[in-house]
């Protein structure tokens, strides 16, 4: 429909009008909804659930809950809006209204009364708006007429008094010359300011090569800066690898010093060129200023008078244009007042429903059940797709250069810390069988016999490599096989907490030359010879010759040596160790070790 004009009704806006508070209050008052317990909570008898809720709220809050007053309309309005439904029928201009109530007659009466009140208020609103607009536009027209007449009189009086004769060509040429000179002066000033800022920044900085990084510099200086930064990054990496006295570090530092000197020389030359350019700009600025002053002096009194007259005429034209627009608006308002109101039609009045409508509670329960199942399945699928950890035997088999040795069940923390369980005094069941399976796999991959040296490692710490290494040694000793267990994680090794050797020296002391090999071997009652990690504060690197000496000693004694090495991603010593050992056993923790980390470790080994 039309609101008395050309603008169509906005269905969204009119829907909001139907939901306005003023309409709601009138419907509630006319139909006495506040006297019905269905819509007025104050008239209802409190249920057991409401009493329990109020009691719990009183225990949490120190404020006593206030009883709703009988004349409070706010709860009634909330209940009214909850029962009311106003929606647009698709993309059409049809608006449907529904109301949910226990009384069928009330369910039909509310929409009918709502639309009648809406039409009344809309009609009154349109009439009031038109009256207000006409009064306002009339006042504006009177004020604008006075301003337009004053502007015309001012232009006529000035022209008669000054005797101005229009000469647009001369004035245009003068204005054009002044504009061009002004633009040139502005550009010169901007260029001078930029050069001064650059010179000031370069002169104020202690290191011109660093100050030039924030300013516009030639490409050659930019390339030198990039080369210097690259050399500094290379120096940082070499320092991390070789230390400060390495020949490569010394040579690179000398090269950096030469690059920094070359860059400082280039910056100094660039400063000289900028100072020369600034001097040239100063001379040009003085020339332009003189020309601009001369141009201004050439402007005659007639030109000033003509400019002033043009300004007054433009003001008069602008005021007249504003007056014409106001007159046009007044004519439009008069036409709207003569037209009928908004063309709205009630297509189908609300009728008393014959049967209850809506879905039962069972429908919503079933819907919520299926929705929860869908969400759970989707979440499980997303988690499974995003999981990048090792979770199956097939994933391990698919990795290159690896033969799965078996699965070891998770051992409870109290069992891992209990020596009686690990040293065979208490059977752990599946864990013992898993260790035996690993030993059988090692034999099968080594021609039917156990390898003389085994390196046990993992990608990260905390994945169970020390437990597996110690359990293998215990199992071999229990079968009567001589075994030497070496805690070769020289920085974070903790196998000594299991064997409790009591030795004050270990592998670190042997590597640093502070102890002989025979002095660091602990003979455990279980039949295991054990070498602890020793003092981690020594921070020694493992050398192949030292490891070969340990392996040779174990071979001479007829022992199988098991190395509990550091994680591959934590120490480069592991690569040296695995190169000497006959077999490497890599421990991967289920659902924790990522496939990418495992594959990277295999490439390193």
Q: What pLDDT, in 10s, does the model give residues 412-453?
A: 665 555 555 555 544 456 877 888 888 888 888 888 888 989
Per-residue three-class SS string for 178-214:
HHHHHHHHHHHHHHHHHHHHHHHHHHHCCCHHHHHHH
What pLDDT digit, counting tens, does each position of 34-43 carry?
888 888 888 8
Sign for the CA dihedral angle at 402, 403, 409, 412 comes to negative
Query: What integer pLDDT is reported at residue 355 of this predicted model?
Result: 67
What is the number of other CB atoms lying within 10 angstroms of the CB of residue 34? 20
Where residue 318 falls among pLDDT bands split at 50, 70, 90?
Answer: very high
Query: What integer pLDDT is reported at residue 324 of this predicted model?
Result: 92
Q: Which tokens hold the place of 76?
A: 């009634």
Query: What integer pLDDT is reported at residue 1 of this predicted model?
Result: 41
Res 315 pLDDT > 90: yes
| Helix, strand, or coil (residue 502) | coil
Say which residue the tokens 């990690």 belong to.
533
CA-based nearest residue to 390, from 156, 604, 589? 589
* pTM for this model (two decimals): 0.40
CATH number 3.40.50.300 given to 393-604: yes
Mean pLDDT across 45-51: 68
Query: What integer pLDDT is reported at residue 50 of this predicted model?
Result: 66
Mean pLDDT across 105-119: 89
Where residue 3 falls among pLDDT bands split at 50, 70, 90?
Answer: very low
Which one has a higher pLDDT value, 514 or 210?
A: 514
CA distance 518 to 131: 112
Looking only at the bridges linking them, the beta strands covering 453-458 and 583-587 are: parallel
Per-residue three-class SS string for 431-477:
HHHHHHHHHHHHHHCCCCCCCCEEEEEECCCCCCHHHHHHHHHHHHH
Domain ranges of the chain: 168-312, 359-388, 393-604
Q: What percent of the chain has pLDDT over 70?
A: 81
Res 388 pLDDT > 70: no
Mean pLDDT across 192-199: 83
DSSP for 19-81? T-HHHHHHHHHHHTGGGSTTT-GGGSPPPHHHHHHHHHHHHH-SSPPPPPPTT--HHHHHHHH
The distance in angstroms from the start CA to the end CA of the chain is 81
Which one has a higher pLDDT value, 518 or 58?
A: 518
CA distance 560 to 8: 94
Where residue 124 falls among pLDDT bands split at 50, 70, 90?
Answer: confident
| Burial annotation 53-71 (CB, 10 A radius, 16+ → b, else e) | eeeeeeeeeeeeeeeeeee
Angle between helices 247-297 and 219-242 (to 10 degrees): 150
Res 483 pLDDT > 80: yes
Which one has a higher pLDDT value, 133 or 356?
A: 133
Mean pLDDT across 528-549: 81
Per-residue three-class SS string for 97-118:
EEECCCCHHHHHHHHHHHHHHH
CA-based nearest residue to 215, from 224, 228, 202, 227? 202
Question: 344 with 17: CB under 8 angstroms?
Answer: no
CA-based nearest residue to 463, from 277, 346, 592, 372? 592
Strand partners, 87: 96
| Eight-state DSSP code of residue 251 | H
Say which residue the tokens 């990054």 belong to.
233
Across 15-24, 115-124, 342-351, least confident range:
342-351
Looking only at the bridges linking them, the beta strands covering 522-523 and 528-531 are: antiparallel
Say which residue the tokens 């008078």 belong to.
305
Q: Which tokens hold the place of 222?
A: 């930019």
What is the number of other CB atoms lying within 10 angstroms of the CB of residue 106? 19
Query: What integer pLDDT is reported at residue 428 of this predicted model?
Result: 55
- In angstroms, what CA-CA distances link 354 with 36, 42, 113, 363, 567? 21, 30, 20, 22, 78
Q: How far is CA 291 from the centre of its chain?
A: 58
Where residue 257 falls among pLDDT bands split at 50, 70, 90?
Answer: confident
Angle between helices 21-31 and 104-162 (to 10 degrees): 140
CA-based nearest residue to 321, from 159, 158, 147, 133? 147
Q: What percent of the chain has pLDDT over 90?
A: 7
* Residues 6 or more apart in contact with residue 557 via CB below 8 angstroms: 482, 484
Strand partners, 457: 586
Question: 490 with 533: CB under 8 angstroms?
Answer: yes
Question: 459 with 536: CB under 8 angstroms?
Answer: no
| Eight-state DSSP code of residue 389 | B
- In angstroms, what CA-CA distances link 374 with 368, 379, 380? 10, 9, 10
CA distance 478 to 41: 80
CA-based nearest residue to 501, from 474, 466, 534, 468? 534
Query: What integer pLDDT is reported at residue 2 of this predicted model?
Result: 40
For the chain, the farthest-separated pair of C-alpha atoms sits apart, in whole angstroms, at 130
* Residues 6 or more apart in contact with residue 3 via CB below 8 angstroms: 9, 126, 341, 342
CA-based nearest residue to 473, from 543, 422, 516? 422
CA-based nearest residue to 490, from 453, 521, 534, 457? 534
Top-ranked range on mean pLDDT: pick from 25-39, 530-544, 565-579: 25-39
Mean pLDDT across 310-325: 90
- In angstroms, what CA-CA distances link 84 with 81, 102, 145? 5, 13, 52
Instruction: Return the CA Rg of the chain.
Output: 47
Mean of the per-residue pLDDT values for the chain? 79
CA-based nearest residue to 352, from 108, 20, 579, 580? 108
Top-ranked range on mean pLDDT: pick from 120-124, 296-300, 349-353, 390-394: 120-124
Which one has a higher pLDDT value, 199 or 540?
A: 199
| Helix, strand, or coil (residue 563) | strand
């Amino acid at each position: 429909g039309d609101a008395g004009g050309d603008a169509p009704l906005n269905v969204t806006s009119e829907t909001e009008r139907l939901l306005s508070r003023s309409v709601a209050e009138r419907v509630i008052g006319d139909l006495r909804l506040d006297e019905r317990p269905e819509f007025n909570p104050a008239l209802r008898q409190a249920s057991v659930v409401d009493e329990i809720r109020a009691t719990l709220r009183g225990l949490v809050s120190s404020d006593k809950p206030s009883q709703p007053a009988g004349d409070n309309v706010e709860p009634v309005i909330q209940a009214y809006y909850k029962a009311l439904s106003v929606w647009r029928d698709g993309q059409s201009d049809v608006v449907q209204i529904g109301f949910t109530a226990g009384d069928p007659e009330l369910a039909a009466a509310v929409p009918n009364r709502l639309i009648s009140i809406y039409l009344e208020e809309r009609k009154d609103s349109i009439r009031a708006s038109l009256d207000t607009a006409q009064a306002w536009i009339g006042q504006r027209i009177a004020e604008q007429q006075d301003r337009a007449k004053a502007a015309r009189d001012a232009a006529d009086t000035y022209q008669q008094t000054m005797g101005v004769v229009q000469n647009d060509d001369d004035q245009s040429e003068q204005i054009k010359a002044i504009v061009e000179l002004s633009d040139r002066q502005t550009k010169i000033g901007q260029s001078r300011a930029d050069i001064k800022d650059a010179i000031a920044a370069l002169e104020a900085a202690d290191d011109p090569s660093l100050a030039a990084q924030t300013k516009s510099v030639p490409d050659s200086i930019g390339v030198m800066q990039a080369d210097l930064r690259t050399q500094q990054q290379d120096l940082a990496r070499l320092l991390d690898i070789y230390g400060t006295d390495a020949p490569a570090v010394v040579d690179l530092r000398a090269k950096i010093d030469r690059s920094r000197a070359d860059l400082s020389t280039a910056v100094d030359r660039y400063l000289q060129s900028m100072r020369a350019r600034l001097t040239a700009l100063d001379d040009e600025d003085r020339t332009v200023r003189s020309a601009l002053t001369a141009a201004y002096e050439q402007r005659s009194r007639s030109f000033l008078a003509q400019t002033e007259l043009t300004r007054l005429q433009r003001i008069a034209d602008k005021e007249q244009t504003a007056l014409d627009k106001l007159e046009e608006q007044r004519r439009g308002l008069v036409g709207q007042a003569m037209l009928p109101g908004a063309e709205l039609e009630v297509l189908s009045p609300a009728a008393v429903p014959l049967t209850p409508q809506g879905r039962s509670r069972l429908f919503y329960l079933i819907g919520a059940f299926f929705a929860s199942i869908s969400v759970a399945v989707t979440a499980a699928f997303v988690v499974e797709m995003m999981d990048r950890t090792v979770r199956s035997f097939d994933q391990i088999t698919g990795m290159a250069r690896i033969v799965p040795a078996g699965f070891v069940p998770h051992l409870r923390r109290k069992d891992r810390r209990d020596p009686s369980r690990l040293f065979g005094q208490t059977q752990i069941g599946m864990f013992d069988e898993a260790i035996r399976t690993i030993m059988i796999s090692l034999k099968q991959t080594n021609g039917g016999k156990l390898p003389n040296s085994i390196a046990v490692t993992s990608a990260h710490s905390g994945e169970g490599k020390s437990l597996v290494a110690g359990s293998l040694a215990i199992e071999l000793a229990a079968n009567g096989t001589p075994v030497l267990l070496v805690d070769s994680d020289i920085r974070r090794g903790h196998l000594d907490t299991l064997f409790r050797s009591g030795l004050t020296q270990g592998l670190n002391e042997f590597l640093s030359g502070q102890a002989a090999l025979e002095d660091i071997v602990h003979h455990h009652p279980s039949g295991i010879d054990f070498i602890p990690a020793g003092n981690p504060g020594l921070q020694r690197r493992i050398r192949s010759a030292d490891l070969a000496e340990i392996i040779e000693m174990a071979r001479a004694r007829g022992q199988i040596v098991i190395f509990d090495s550091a994680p591959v991603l934590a120490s480069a010593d592991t690569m040296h160790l695995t190169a000497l050992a006959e077999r490497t056993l890599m421990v991967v923790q289920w659902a924790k070790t990522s496939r990418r980390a495992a594959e990277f470790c295999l490439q390193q080994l």
